[in-house]
Chain A
Amino acid sequence: MPIITVDGYELEVKAGTNLLDALLSRNIDVPYFCWHPAMGSIGACRQCAVVQYANKDDDRGRIVMSCMTAVTEGAIFSVDTNNAVTFRESVIENLMLNHPHDCPVCEEGGECHLQDMTVMVGHRNRQYTGRKTTFRNQYLGPFIGHEMNRCITCYRCTRFYQDYAGGHDLNAFGSRDRVFFGRAESGVLENEFAGNLIEVCPTGVFTDKTLSKNYTRKWDLQSAPTVCTGCSLGCNTYTSERYGELRRVHNRYNQEVNGYFLCDRGRFGSGYVDSPKRIRQAGMLNAAGLYDVVSKDSAIEHVRSMLANASKIKGIGSPRASLESNQSLRDLVGEDNYCSGMTNTEREMHAVILDVLRSDLNSPSMSEVENFDAVLVLGEDVTNHAPRLALSIRQATRNKSLKLAAETQLSEWQDAAVRELAQNQRSPLIVVTPMTDRLDEIASQSLRMSFGDITKLTQGLIDALTSDVSGEKQRAGSSESNEVVRGIIETLLAAERPLIVSGTSVGSPELLKRAANLAAALKQHKKTAGIFLCASEVNSLGVCLIDNHHSLESILDEAPEVVIVLENDLSLRLGHRFDSWIAKMPRLIAVDHLDHLTTSKADIVLPAATDPECEGSYINTEGRAQRSMAVFKPAGNIAASYHWLDALRDVTRVPSEIRAALANQFSELQVLDDAAPDEKFRDAGGKQPRMTHRSSGRTAMYADISVHEPKQPIDEDSAMAFSMEGNQNRSPSALRAYTWTPGWNSNQSIHKFQIEVNGSDVAANPPSFVFSDSESFCHYPRGNISNNVLIPQFHIFGSDELSAFSDELSQRVPLPYLRIRSEDAQRLGLTKDDGVMCDQVKKSTPLRIIIDDDLPVDCMVYPKIAELFELNGLDNASFVRIDGWHSPPAIITSDRTN
């Protein structure tokens, strides 16, 4: 490790890094704008200037940009010398020439990197008296606001949007002081990761519209470390509240999981918490088919008597509910009567993922995916089903350019140079899916096949690997498919670290099994080969682990008298079978937060807390146990599901006691406790704060109700307090409610909590993996390959159970469509934009026809959205044309063309 001298002090720094990174890692503040820890340096803003001296006798030195300067042994720098200080002052003064007088009406204010840096540099008085440049703003969709006047042209936005996330519709336009960052024309920003612009832009150009409508400054937000429930990846988030309403979701850095970025489903999808469809009171179905509001006690009384009079009680758990809630249900109904709430197919698919995680196959974490230099995607629609992983796969394709850079002795952080060097050269990515995939554009090879054919292809690959690697041996099958197989094998074997990616969006356990077999076969040749399988929901693996018996289908076989459904809309899972299934259902008790088809069929509904309102443990698709903390106490009768279910048995347990019960029964779940400290944890005798120390309005917030300030709610479940008391700076990362350090009000303060820039959190809990990869992998025997004609297309907006209940996100849910090949359209007498409906289902929703000849033959595709739930699980369906139907306009520009 080189030793450099900075302002007379010797510092040991990480080799191969740049000076800015090194200084920030050693806690020396240098102002910067364009450098980003995940995106490296381009030297665009000139704010990070320091002075470098040629040798000890050099007393003048020269100004260098610290982000563009490599640290070398013996180098001498000064951050504090007058030269550097005045240079930085003049840079920020220039950046601020045109800056509007907007802070009071700017959503960035109070967590603005530009404010922080201006204060840090000490620029106080405006000397410039000329006119300011102004810009017109654009409409960028329901999520992101645009206020172009505030731009300081650091280019972080386009670098993230285009280079990092692969977006096409955000660009820099114009010249000199007219440079404009936006779209060619007003319209929705299409990229699935556009929301990160809010955090990436160091100013208030891109702001969070969902926060702005009920805007609250960062210092007034009550927050908690949470886990995103949008998909199985379990990205780490900060969720924030004010006045009892959820305000926003921000990224929470976790080096091994999501790093600095989230997807837009996670960021903008938690509006369901305040949805008008939220169930806030316990309700009992009356004779008229309506619900009567009942008190907490009488609801519990009624359920108890219902349970007392029944001999056969079943409990249906939920992969989107926490392990604590599921266990509490299990304790109530008994383990033999508990079902994970998944269908047979879902359970079988997740069992494969469990097997893989328990086996000696190499299952990387999401951030490790970025280190694989060849990726084969088998059927999984990564971008729409496990969105954040797509961002990691995009970075994985950059390994080629990093390798080229290393050969030319260029450092990885020289972002512009490395990209220039590599041009369009990427590490191989092979995407084998039925539908056009968002990753196609960076794929070295895209193959369109039905899921059945993908399964066969996978088998072909296994055969090729296990029989004869060189592929010389004659095999059955067409020479064309042999060619494809040989090509893929060559690519995988040529790589240093090949990765197989698949997931449950394929809907076929057989495909997942063979993908696992393939990974095992590949591992015989490449020790480093890995496999990443994406589960369906945030806790799919958790519930699969604690339930060994039942599926939704089998629960009816035992003719139960009372069924308790926990946080689960069964209509989405059972699809067309739902109506007949629910008709056979005797008495139904639902514990849930939203009014959906299942809760509206229940005899008694108990209002459950949502994920941001209660503590919970989840196991993500990497097999990582994570804890999500309650952000605020919900009003009224709402309580955590586990508290409701425990109350039915007349017991009171804090979550850690329920986790202890889980750990007792499942030795693998002993790590649950490692995910975060339990409710007994104290720092200097106190709990961890959820509010900032600057939180305002305490003595006036509720003064309209009573001038006598209420006591803060007590949190018995965790070591966090609904209060500003405590030291957030010292909190363990799993209990840290926000990042803030003096002088660093924005999210850029994260480097103060990292061991070094991009390192792990200083107070991180050790990774808590549930599964030890000790068992050696057993190959799955070959099963039957089935092929459905009607297949669902997942959508980042609308395909999960909850986020579509959010006001803004619901605007991005696709309108119903049917994607068919032109010959099928001809056969059925349909043309583009015709309306059709399925005649096999009760609720006939019109679907717009999209002609897509990229689809494999004998495939029809519909969007997996709640509105079309009845199509779920149909292998085939017939559709009839609706005369005189006109399609409503699409809101995404690229959707208007196809």
Chain B
Amino acid sequence: MLLDMLSAIWSQLLTLAEVLKHTFTKADTVQYPEEMPYLAPRYRGRIVLTRDPDGHERCVACNLCAVACPVDCIALQKTEDEDGRWYPEFFRINFSRCIMCGMCEEACPTYSIQLTPDFEMCEYDRQNMVYEKEHLLISGQGKYPGYSFYNVAGKSIAGKDKGEALNESPPVDVRSLLP
């Protein structure tokens, strides 16, 4: 009984000492916005659409981000350009619904959609939280440089014929009789 009491008092004293110690450490709180905190590149903030190394839109309008999104705030429509590339005719994110969960980025097979360490997106008018493709598409590659989906896909587009993707042999000659 007495031992218990002593140990409880000791614990209290330790706690007090710990709290007291913090009076002399440097504060983590920063004077935002005068002072900007460091956010890691993988921080999940404002969403962007990126481009491949050749400057083409990476997004192929596959709809996987849209279906992965738990709040259904991504809507897009596939179309095709004269090169045979699929791309979104429109691509819309309603950031007033987005919960920055990053599911879309996880789902994206082309590294197109990426979350960035920018969280300063407040608006007075909610309507301004609706971003269209022109607001989302950046000119760089974002966090994943070097990847180009069409270089690994089997679909041919202008400038990349059948057999020219990674690990592909040239198109077969169907009429060949060789064994």
Contact = CB atoms under 8 A, between A and B. Distances in A.
Contact of B72 (A133, A147, A174, A700): A700
Interface residues of B, number: 52
B109 A104 contact: yes
Interface stretch (B1-9, B11-19, B127-135): B127-135
Contact of B167 (A129, A178, A215): A129
Interface string A116-137: 0000000000000111111111
B132 A704 contact: yes
A2 interface: no
A102 B109 CA distance: 10
Contacts of B147: none
B94 A707 contact: yes
B168 A243 contact: no
A147 B157 CA distance: 12
A150 B174 CA distance: 16
B106 interface: no
B75 A696 contact: yes
B155 A109 contact: no
A696 B155 contact: no
A731 to B, nearest CB: 22
A694 interface: yes
Given A129-B167, A699-B71, A100 B155 contact: yes
Interface in B137-179: 149, 152-155, 162-163, 165, 167-177, 179
A215 B78 contact: yes
B55 to A, nearest CB: 19
Given A701-B75, A706-B127, A105 B94 contact: no
Given A149-B154, A174-B174, A220 B63 contact: yes
Nearest to B130: A703
Interface in A194-249: 212-217, 219-220, 242-243
A242 B63 CA distance: 13
Contacts of B100: none
Given A102-B154, A178-B176, A132 B167 contact: yes
Nearest to A697: B75
A104 B152 CA distance: 12
B110 interface: yes
A101 B152 contact: yes
A131 B172 CA distance: 12
Contacts of A147: 154-155
Q: Is the interface of A mostly helix, strand, loop or mixed?
A: loop
A132 B72 CA distance: 37
Given A105-B86, A174-B172, A700 B92 contact: yes
A213 B75 contact: no
B138 to A, nearest CB: 20
B74 A707 contact: no
Contacts of B96: 707
B172 A109 contact: no
B171 to A, nearest CB: 5
A321 to B, nearest CB: 32
A100 B77 contact: no
Contact of B66 (A106, A696, A707): A696
B84 to A, nearest CB: 9
Contacts of A243: 77
Contacts of B174: 135, 173-174, 178, 180
A176 interface: yes
A696 B67 contact: yes
A277 interface: no
Contacts of A177: 172
A293 interface: no
Contact of A134 (B97, B152, B162, B175): B162
A251 B66 CA distance: 27
Given A105-B86, A105-B155, A147-B155, A214 B130 contact: no
A131 B165 CA distance: 10
Contacts of A109: 62
B93 interface: yes
A133 B169 contact: yes
A311 interface: no
A4 to B, nearest CB: 40
A707 B77 contact: no
Contacts of B90: 704
A105 B96 CA distance: 29
A132 B149 CA distance: 16
Contact of A104 (B62, B97, B167, B169): B62
A105 B78 CA distance: 10
Nearest to B92: A700
A833 B93 CA distance: 57
A134 B130 contact: no
Contacts of B93: 700
B133 to A, nearest CB: 11
B152 A700 contact: no
Given A105-B62, A149-B154, A243-B77, A699 B94 contact: yes
Contacts of B86: 104-105, 215
A707 B169 contact: no
Interface string B105-143: 000011000000000000000110110100000000000
Contact of B63 (A133, A696, A698, A707): A696
Contacts of B54: none
B75 A134 contact: no
Given A109-B62, A700-B97, A134 B149 contact: no
Nearest to A708: B126
Given A135-B171, A704-B130, A707-B96, A105 B71 contact: no
Contact of A103 (B61, B76, B109): B109
Interface string B77-94: 111100000100010111
Among B61, B94, B130, B177, residue most surrounded by chain A Cβ atoms (within 10 Å): B94
B10 to A, nearest CB: 54
A739 B160 CA distance: 37
A173 B172 CA distance: 11
A365 B99 CA distance: 55
A175 interface: yes
B78 A100 contact: no
Nearest to B59: A104
A707 B75 CA distance: 13
B149 A703 contact: no
Nearest to A104: B62
A248 to B, nearest CB: 13
A695 B175 CA distance: 45
Nearest to A243: B77
A217 B90 CA distance: 16
Contacts of A694: 67
Interface in A114-166: 129-137, 147, 149-150
A213 B132 CA distance: 21
A242 B78 CA distance: 12
A214 B79 contact: yes
Nearest to B97: A699
Contact of B67 (A132, A176, A219): A219
Contacts of B168: 131-132, 134
Interface string A569-609: 00000000000000000000000000000000000000000
Closest 9 CB pairs of A and B: A100-B154, A697-B75, A104-B62, A700-B75, A696-B66, A698-B72, A131-B169, A149-B154, A215-B78
Given A101-B165, A104-B153, A178-B176, 13 more contacts: A104-B60, A149-B162, A150-B154, A174-B175, A214-B77, A242-B77, A699-B72, A701-B75, A703-B75, A703-B92, A703-B94, A703-B130, A704-B92
25 contacts: A100-B165, A101-B165, A102-B153, A103-B62, A104-B109, A131-B167, A135-B172, A135-B174, A149-B154, A149-B155, A178-B172, A178-B173, A213-B80, A214-B77, A215-B61, A215-B86, A220-B67, A696-B69, A697-B76, A699-B73, A700-B75, A700-B97, A701-B92, A707-B127, A708-B126
